Amino acid sequence: MGRELFLHIGTHKTGTTSLQIILANNEEKLASHGVYVPKTGRNSLLPGHHNLAWELNDDERFDPSTGNIQALREELSNVFQPRVILSSEDFEYLYCREDRLGLLKSLADSLGRDIYAVVCFRDWAGYANSLYAELAKHGLTKSVEYFVNEIVVSGEFVFNEHWRFCFDYPKIVAGFQKVFGADRVLWYSYRRGIEEPFFTAMGLGAFYAQLGGEYTTNESIGPAAVNALIVLNRKAQRQNMPPAQFYENRERIMTQMSEKDSGVKFSGISGPLKNRLEHRFRKARHWLDGGI
């Protein structure tokens, strides 16, 4: 290892929140082992470097007061640990934005660091199930059938214009390789776990066992909550519901339905829909198993 900048880019619904909490809760331990976790781009509510991803992706959630790429450059100019880690699942969206990835490559070059992307992928049906449930919390109105059909036809699902969820995993890797280099993108399967393979990719597999603390994940909601939220989202769209009223109704639904779901996860993408996804991406299955 020399001087590296590791970019953990998710993908979504692969335990990224858990990994980011581990990084945030163990900053001092990591620093003592030569790993620096920047403060720029994080806010008090989210442990990941999401604000940096939002800036690069022109996301309306970007908040200049939380830090930008220039502020990150200034912070890292005084960092001497050999490894730096940035983590946000929203970096995933940049796979098709060569110019924005170029800004990250230029940042690393200016700091004398080699940049690497580390990516985790999960099975297609599991990802689709979890993603559909997650997007229901953010205003999704489409049916499960429409959702799957869009993925099968185009290879991705675009939501809120800038959120591009690509299910063609080799395409994501190729997008980062084009800018960072063919040997600078590492990927692994979600089946191997979340955190341990990530630290192993950085040569810190043994050190991972020393990290302690209580970690939480962004748990998927159950079928009753998902179905109720889809109904709410369609109603909000038809009636042009004020945001405050929408969020109040959303929280009420998630609270009321949590007991009804009783730990049951949403599994609306099964049977024929699952088969369609597996057939569409069957050629990439062997490729996925060939990661680190």
C-beta separation of 10 from 18 below 8 A: no
Closest CA to 46 of 87, 83, 95: 87
3-state secondary structure string across 232-266: HHHHHHHHCCCHHHHHHHHHHHHHHHHHHHCCCCC
C-beta separation of 7 from 91 below 8 A: yes
C-beta separation of 174 from 98 below 8 A: no
Distance of alpha carbon 150 from the chain centroid: 20
pLDDT at 200: 84
Residues of the chain below pLDDT 70: 1-2, 212-219
d(CA 192, CA 32): 27
pLDDT at 218: 61
- pLDDT tens readout for residues 109-160: 999 999 999 999 999 999 999 999 999 999 999 999 999 999 999 999 999 8
Q: Is the overall model pTM greater than 0.85, yes or no?
A: yes
pLDDT at 35: 93
Angle between helices 124-136 and 272-280 (to 10 degrees): 120
Tell me the CATH class for 4-125+165-208: alpha beta
C-beta separation of 261 from 223 below 8 A: yes
